[in-house]
Chains A and B, each alone.
Chain A
Amino acid sequence: MRILKITTMKKILLFAVIALAANVSNAQRFFSKSAHVRFFSHTSAEDIKADNYKCEIVLDKTTGNVQFSSLIKMFEFEKALMQEHFNENYLESDTYPKATFKGKGDFSGVNFGVDGNYNVNVAGQITMHGVTKDVSATANIKIAGGKIDGSTKFYINPRDYNVKIPDVVKGQISDKIEVTVKATLQPLK
């Protein structure tokens, strides 16, 4: 009786895994509503980081389209004053509330239904602070046990986006801001 129960459980588990894999490999689009973006600035004076875990990313494996959006006010800094300056003086989030990325990647070599590790070149445009700039980066897609993790890292210069940093704090904010994006992607039904 016990052996029968275990066998039945194994069958259910196997069915669930197959169903999940089929669901993932059949999906054309993948998304996350809680993608993580980190801005990191390193200078000899100090390190500053800001995190936003409330970003949306959608990628279409067939067309290669990648869309990303995040709200500036939702970035969290370690210090309240840094957050205030970021919103009020630098990114002016009242006027420019959102940052977006629209681009394309070549996902033809990625099998979303099979475990693996893939590097994909993604290129497109970031719009932030009312300025649109071209950007390209290598994104990593790691698939393990049905879980799809995407990540990328690239650098931006605040001046390219018309972010005016006062002379008095120029030594504290790098002109090479590291941007890290991480997301656990779900198949879009």
Chain B
Amino acid sequence: MKKKIIIITLLAILAIVGGVAYYEWNKPKETAKDVTPTFILTADELALAFAQDSIKAGATYIKDAVSFEIQGAIDTTYVNEGNETVIVLKTNQETPVSCYFIPNQADNGNPAQFNKNDNVVVKGYCGGINGDMFPEIQMTKCYIRKK
């Protein structure tokens, strides 16, 4: 009887571990839509932080655990060669904030519906500042809504 209980317990543990592993392996990609943001900023405030001290801003903002809610007006929208919708937010700095939306992501807020000069709120994670010639702050796993 005792042996039976041990076998059943082991099988149950195995099933749970297997189930968790299967879920983790196949878990869907998620945007930052339902994440409580670590920082709520305007696009200009984020760009200013990088313009003033890019090392300090990088140490503060480029972290997997740090998410953002960014408010701003749309400068341009386009679809890049990877079929990703890109929404560029205006700033008063040299560096715009470019928000990238991966294709076919159900929880991204449908970025295609937005146009130039729309005031929007974007939630996402900061990948850093890229480019020497045309530097831009790149945001990933983005979700967008109207302000």
- Asked if A188 is an interface residue, CB under 8 A from chain B, the answer is yes
* A87 close to B (CB within 8 Å): yes
Q: Is the CB of B82 within 8 A of A53?
A: yes
How close is B11's CB to chain A, nearest CB, in angstroms? 23
Q: List 8 A-B contacts (CB under 8 A).
A: A31-B133, A67-B132, A67-B133, A71-B127, A73-B125, A80-B28, A81-B25, A94-B64
- In the complex, which of the residues B25, B26, B64 contacts A87, with contact meaning CB atoms closer than 8 Å? B64
Chain B residues with Cβ under 8 A from A36's Cβ?
81-82
What are the nearest 8 A-B pairs in CB distance?
A53-B82, A73-B127, A56-B131, A97-B128, A71-B127, A34-B80, A80-B29, A74-B127
Q: Would you call A58 an interface residue if the criterion is a C-beta within 8 Å of the partner chain's C-beta atoms?
A: yes
Flag if A94 contacts B80 (CB, 8 Å).
no
CA distance A51 to B83 in the complex (A): 12
Q: Which of A71, A79, A84 contacts B130 (CB 8 A)?
A: A71
CB within 8 Å: A-B pair count: 81
**Nearest Cβ distance between residue B14 and chain A, in whole angstroms?**
18
Q: Nearest chain B CB to A67's CB is how many angstroms away? A: 6
User: For chain A residues 62-94, which have a beta carbon within 8 Å of chain B?
Assistant: 67, 69-74, 76, 79-81, 83-84, 87-88, 93-94
Interface residues of A (CB under 8 A from B): 31, 33-34, 36, 51, 53-56, 58, 67, 69-74, 76, 79-81, 83-84, 87-88, 93-94, 97-98, 184, 188
Cβ contact within 8 Å between A80 and B130: no
Is B134 touching A33 in the complex (CB atoms < 8 A)?
yes
Additional 9 contacts, C-beta under 8 A, given A53-B81, A71-B128, A93-B62 = A31-B134, A33-B134, A34-B81, A56-B133, A58-B133, A69-B132, A74-B140, A184-B81, A188-B133
Interface contact B82-A74, CB-CB below 8 Å: no
**Which residues in A have their C-beta under 8 angstroms from that of B134?**
31, 33, 56
Bound Cα distance from A101 to B138, whole angstroms: 19
User: Are A54 and B128 in contact, with the CB atoms below 8 A?
Assistant: no
Contact A70 B130 (CB under 8 A): yes
Chain B residues contacting A184 (CB-CB under 8 Å) are 81
Min CB gap B20→A, angstroms: 12
Interface contact A53-B133, CB-CB below 8 Å? no
